[in-house]
Amino acid sequence: MAINRWIQSGNYRRSYKEDQTIFATFSEQASLIVFLIFLALVPHMPFMNRQLFRVVDLAFIYTIAVMGLNIVTGYAGQINIGQAAFMGVGAYAAVTITRDIATPLFQFGKTLPFWYIIILLPLSGLVAALVGAFVGLPSYRLKHLYLAIATLAFQIIFTWGVGHSPFLNQGGSIRIARLDFFGTVIKGSKTIGPFFYYFALIVLIIMAIAMRNILRSKYGRALIAVRDNDRAADAMGINPGLTKVYAFAISGFFAGVAGAIFALYNGSVIVESFSLSTSIDFLAMAIVGGLGTMVGSLIGPSFMLFLDPFVEKFSGFAQTIFPSTIDVATAMRPTIFGLIIVLFLIYEPRGLANWWRLLRQYFWRWPFKY
């Protein structure tokens, strides 16, 4: 009997190879392709302005960093309160490699040729991965909150260290040249917005595919094993310490790539972009999206970043109700974001990804109820 893979309500796979596929049905694959086409068309929509481009571009860049955070925190179960610092390592690596090595070596002028990013992004990621592995070393001995404190310590050391390195301009802005995309210099928000939309999106897709593949391979399973039961993982021939360290390294790589794109996007790097509060924002994005789910790290950052302008408007409105002596507006934003995180932790600890799962199941079974 031929199986219609467009509509199927159960698992009809016939080989182990088929069972490895990511998508259950052709219709899911098709809807993903439609969604990607939609994403590709978005920059041409009339409503896209500079502000929206910035929100979306930043969402893409942060998504890459949050994917990494989800690998170490969601899948490997190690709390990481320093993801912004890893992103900072990537950004500073990109800037210093360009300034001190690539520019003299390749005789770059005022712009960077586009092919250079093929070297720069992986290299920045690699530097951040090495730092990530180093910061992850205490996970051989430390667990849970103690490890979280170690990552927090890294965040603090990073901010302090950059602030005290003349080499890094003491955290003040360091310039990185703009890209030259086959003759077009990517500068000015009119071109930067759409260009980095596609650029970050493509990198994001590549990273997402890599993440998906890692997760369905033995390396991904090992992460989950260490999270669920590191004693048993040990007995399965998995080295729990090493697994945690490489989880940190992968996470660092993602953050590093995000940091390098962030640096190219802004044209300069400043230490304040990689502060503790950004790290906590990343954690919040991962939690709201859904820890330990691939989809969660894709939805979380966009949700939080798009929410921000609304909260801003709302807190401005709230301030008009209260007398000006009470600074409600200042309290409003952190309160609302705090509240969202707490509500998610209590009522939907699996995050937005769970809503997505339920939605997907609904369509999968349609027209049946179950």
Partner 1 sequence: MKKLYISLALLAALALTTAFAQKEVVIGWSGAVTGPTSDAGKYVVQGIEDYCQYANDENLVPGYTIKCITRDDEYNNDNTLRNFESYLDEDMVAFIGYATGGSLQLKVNTTEEEVPLMGSSLHIGLIDSPDNEYMFLPITSYSEQVLSLFEWIAENHEGDGAPKVAMFVHASPFGRAPVEDARLAAEILGVEIVEVQEATKGLDYTAMLQRWDNAGVEYMIGQHVQSPIATILNSAKDLGLLDKIQFMGAHYTGGTSLITLAGDAAENFIWSTSFYLPDENQPGMTLQRTIGERYGRNQDAIEETNYTTGLLQASIYIEAARLAALSGDVTKESFYSALLTMNGDNEFEPGFSVGPVSFSEDDHIGVDALRLLQVQDGKFVAITEAFNSATFPQVHPPR
Partner 2 sequence: MSEKKSQLVIDNVILSFGGLNALTNVSIGIESGAITSIIGPNGAGKTSLLNCISGFYKATSGSIKFEGIELVGKSPYQISKLGIARAFQNIELFSGLSVLDNLMLARHTHLKYSFFESLFFYGKCQNQEIINREYVEGIIDFMELEEYRKAVVGELSYGIRKRVEMARALTLDPKLLLLDEPMAGMNLGEKEDIVRFILDIKAERDIAVVLIEHDLGVVMDISDYVYVLDFGMKIASGIPDVVAKDPAVITAYVGGESLI
Residues forming the site for partner 2 (CB under 8 A): 11, 16-17, 19-20, 210, 213-214, 216-222, 224-225, 228-229, 231-240, 246
What does 188 interact with, of partner 2, partner 1, none (CB < 5 to 8 A by kind)? partner 1
C-alpha of 42 from chain center: 21
For residues 306 and 337, give the distance between their C-alpha atoms in angstroms, rounded to a whole number: 12
Give CA torsion, residues 33, 38, 39, 45, to 10 deg: 170
Minimum distance of partner 2 from residue 21's CB (angstroms)? 10
Out of 145, 146, 327, 362, the only residue in the binding site for partner 1 (CB under 8 A) is 327
Residue 55 binding partner 1, by CB under 8 A: yes
Residue 188 binding partner 1, by CB under 8 A: yes
ω into 367 cis (within 30 of 0): yes
What does 239 interact with, of partner 2, partner 1, none (CB < 5 to 8 A by kind)? partner 2
Residue 141 vs 190, nearer CB to partner 1: 190
For residues 144 and 76, give the distance between their C-alpha atoms in angstroms, rounded to a whole number: 11
Name the strand (E) or helix (H) holding 113: strand 111-113
Residue 158 · residue 82 · CB < 8 Å:
yes
Out of 28, 234, 272, 348, the only residue in the binding site for partner 1 (CB under 8 A) is 272
For residues 269 and 98, give the distance between their C-alpha atoms in angstroms, rounded to a whole number: 12
Residue 8 vs 173, nearer CB to partner 1: 173
Minimum distance of partner 1 from residue 175's CB (angstroms)? 6
Minimum distance of partner 1 from residue 351's CB (angstroms)? 23
Residue 278 · residue 80 · CB < 8 Å:
no
Name the strand (E) or helix (H) holding 112: strand 111-113
Q: Could you tell me the sign of the dihedral formed by the alpha carbons of 349, 74, 69, 364, in that order?
A: negative
Stretch that binds partner 1, among 2-10, 67-75, 100-108, 181-189 (CB under 8 A): 181-189
Residue 16 vs 368, nearer CB to partner 2: 16
Q: To 10 degrees, what angle do helices 26-41 and 189-216 make?
A: 160
Binding site for partner 1 (CB under 8 A): 49-51, 53-55, 58, 160, 163, 170-173, 175, 178, 187-189, 193, 266-268, 270-273, 308, 312, 315-316, 324, 327, 329-330, 332-333
